[in-house]
């Protein structure tokens, strides 16, 4: 869904600008430019990413909300990808904490394109209480290869990535592995051993991700 131009200006930050997030320089292919809607001063906040399945269980959605609300209350920005399921739950829970609690959505489209279209209201809410960020110019719609590129930005910006639910071939595992390669902390919530949506989290734990079952498990590992 393409939306009309926003009433606030969109800021373009080029690599090399003093406003360009230093964490993105850890990538081997940092975005040449970022397009940002919102107060770019929020880029200085510490960030934690919460990601997971688009087809989340009710328990997964509950856990995403729990972690997002608890972590955002400590003064961190919650970062995710505006996808259905876990991403949306994390964004919305942060917004529901009220003013001075912020969330950033990293998009796989231009800032004037809402994807998925069901998240139009959430997109607008984030624009008022956080940041919308993309490396894609206005008018660019969703393409399959855009989302792995979006995931690398999520991984780089965050000090840690929390995976709430994920299947073995989930895009969330791409984010988690990129984060680990960049030296970020990776956390995974365990679940039922026969759950498809827990298989990816269990695999991450086997590979060295920290098992997290309460928000304090995340905070104890991160120093801001």
Record the pTM.
0.95
Q: What is the pLDDT of residue 2?
A: 56
Question: Are the C-beta atoms of residues 141 and 115 closer than 8 Å to each other?
Answer: yes
Its sign, for the CA torsion 187, 189, 194, 196, is negative
The span from the CA of 173 to the CA of 102, in Å, is 24
- Arithmetic mean of pLDDT, 63-83: 98
pLDDT at 194 over 60: yes
pLDDT by residue (tens digit) across 49-69? 999 999 999 999 999 999 999
Alpha-carbon dihedral 89, 176, 152, 6, rounded to 10 degrees: 10
- Arithmetic mean of pLDDT, 123-128: 96
Q: What is the pLDDT of residue 5?
A: 46
Taken in order of first residue, the domains within the chain and their CATH numbers are: 11-219 (3.40.50.450)
Residue found under tokens 């040449």: 32
Among 99, 84, 88, 90, residue whose Cα is nearest residue 70: 90
pLDDT at 43 over 70: yes
């Amino acid at each position: 869904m393409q939306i009309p131009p926003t009433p606030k200006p969109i800021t373009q930050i080029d690599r090399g600008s003093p406003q360009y997030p230093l964490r993105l320089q850890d990538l081997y292919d940092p975005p040449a430019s970022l397009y940002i809607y919102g107060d770019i001063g929020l880029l200085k906040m510490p960030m934690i990413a919460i990601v997971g399945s688009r087809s989340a269980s009710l328990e997964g959605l509950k856990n995403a909300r729990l972690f997002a609300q608890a972590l955002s209350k400590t003064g961190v920005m919650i970062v995710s990808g505006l996808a259905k399921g876990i991403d949306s739950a994390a964004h919305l829970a942060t917004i529901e904490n009220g003013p001075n609690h912020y969330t950033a959505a990293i998009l796989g489209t231009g800032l004037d394109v809402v994807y998925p279209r069901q998240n139009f209201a959430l997109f607008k809410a984030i624009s008022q209480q956080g940041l919308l960020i993309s490396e894609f110019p206005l008018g660019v719609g969703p393409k399959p290869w855009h989302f792995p590129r979006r995931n690398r930005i999520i991984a780089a910006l965050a000090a840690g990535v929390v995976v709430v639910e994920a299947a073995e071939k989930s895009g969330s595992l791409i984010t988690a592995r990129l984060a680990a390669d960049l030296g970020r902390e990776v956390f995974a919530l365990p679940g039922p051993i026969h759950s498809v949506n827990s298989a990816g989290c269990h695999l991450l734990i086997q590979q060295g991700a920290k098992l997290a079952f309460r928000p304090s498990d995340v905070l104890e590992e991160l120093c801001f």
